Amino acid sequence: MTASPPDATADPAPARGGPPDADAAGRAWRNLRILMHERGDRRREVTEALGLSFFRVKALRRIAAGPTTLGELAEGLLTDRPYTTLVVEDLVKRGLAERAPNPGDRRSKIVSVTAAGRAAADEAERILDTPLPALHDLPGGDLAALDRIAARLVASS
């Protein structure tokens, strides 16, 4: 007697020794990754709209949040100071940011956003905050559940 094929919708047995829903977590993560990075890649949209790499957009958004030193910016971006200096130099050349002496430490500079930089950062936020159309198609209860789950995940990470 041959076994029938497994039901594709059934949860496969958990990996030995792993959490009971490790496979479900893997599927959920994979689906989120596909949804965010393949079907709704807002990062691509923002880079095309602003003509900047996404890393530069990230730096600009941090600078727009408030004046910062190069060291603080590098730390916040999880990169080294020399690369951060290159990124800031590019933003300054484009008229999106400016550097000024740090009154509290003559060895460092304060980076702040210009009016053009503020407009670009605001446009980036608008694009990045635009929900995927599929979210609007979800029933209210599903959307509320997704919102609660996403908020829990953000709070715990």
Write down the pLDDT at residue 8: 39
- What's the pLDDT score for residue 11? 45
Say how many residues make up the chain: 157
The structural domains of the chain, with segments of one domain joined by +, span 35-131
For the entire predicted model, the pTM comes to 0.76
Distances in Å between the alpha carbon of 108 and those of 42, 64, 91, 114, 131? Answer: 34, 19, 18, 19, 39
- Give counts: helices (H), strands (E), the chain: 8, 3
Crossing angle of helices 115-128 and 54-64, in 10° steps, is: 110
- pLDDT tens-digit series, residues 134-153: 888 999 999 999 999 999 99
Sign of the dihedral defined by the CA atoms of residues 22, 27, 28, 30, in that order: positive
User: Percent of the chain at pLDDT above 90?
Assistant: 65
Q: Specify whether domain 35-131 bears CATH 1.20.1050.90.
A: no
pLDDT digit string (tens) for 87-118? 999 999 999 999 999 998 888 899 999 999 99
pLDDT, position 5: 38
User: Longest C-alpha distance within the chain, in Å?
Assistant: 82
